Amino acid sequence: MVEKSYAKINIFLKIVGIKDNYHLIASRFVRVKNLFDTISFTKKDVENFTLEGDFSCLLEKNTVYKAFKELENFSCVKEFFKSHIVKIDKKIPEFAGLGGGSSNAATFINMVNRYCNLNLSKDDLAKIGSKIGADVAFFIYEYDSANVSGVGEIVEKFDEDMLNIEVFTPKISCDTAKIYKTFRENFYKELNKDEVKELFATNSKDILKKFDIKNANDLYLPALFLEKKLEDYAKENWYFSGSGSSFFKVL
């Protein structure tokens, strides 16, 4: 019982409005097939849910633990994790704009659905995942490429050739909440519906030909405002993922 938990990058990320203090986005999420964590369910008798891995947060803050708490009302799930532990081999940098925590939660949810025979639909699983984090739904659906909107809960598959992506994550800590706050206070703008429609219909390679790093991601300039060193890594044909600090390019 071993599965890969892939990273993602944002080909573009645009803010289209604010609702109930949440930023509404329009974005293209693409899975990075050469960067993933590995999640395994290993047989072992334990009294409580057990998660092993190199994490920077307490168990209660971990997205996989939160996913377990959402699923433990299924009696079979509770019983399963009295005889199995969860191990995660982390390769995706944390807090890097790559969705590692969201991917872990989604992969865990999909694995539980499969191995505990819950027989829930992807839509049902995505609703559960959205309680844990905005990006979880994308990973639940396991699409290679998708248009994502709302606060991240609306996911529509986008058919295109798989991209070969290189990712680099500098050792710079980017605080997502502060970056959104800075965007709102200093850089706020909204993409209109016609522009969103055009972006959602355009393949990722053509979008990257059209945009530079500043225009592709609305969060890059506020991130740069807070962390000046990011500019050292903004090389030609490199782009910024999410709220950072990861950069990527298509090979």
Its sign, for the CA torsion 65, 71, 74, 77, is negative
Look up 8 and say whether it is catalytic. yes
* Separation CA 174–CA 49 (nearest Å): 31
Phi/psi at 163 (nearest 5 deg)? -95, 145
Q: Which of 37, 135, 144, 218 is catalytic?
A: 135
Cβ pair 180, 243 in contact under 8 A: yes
Query: Based on the number of CB atoms within 10 Å of its own CB, is 150 exposed (0-12), middle (13-18) or buried (19 or more)?
Result: middle
* Separation CA 249–CA 166 (nearest Å): 5
* Separation CA 192–CA 226 (nearest Å): 27
Q: Which of 8, 14, 37, 66 is catalytic?
A: 8
How far is C-alpha 246 from the chain's CA centre? 12
* Separation CA 188–CA 135 (nearest Å): 22
Look up 135 and say whether it is catalytic. yes
Query: Based on the number of CB atoms within 10 Å of its own CB, is 113 exposed (0-12), middle (13-18) or buried (19 or more)?
Result: buried
Helix pair 63-71, 100-115: axis angle to 10 deg: 30
> In this structure, what token pair is assigned to residue 22?
């949440």
Active site positions, annotated: 8, 135
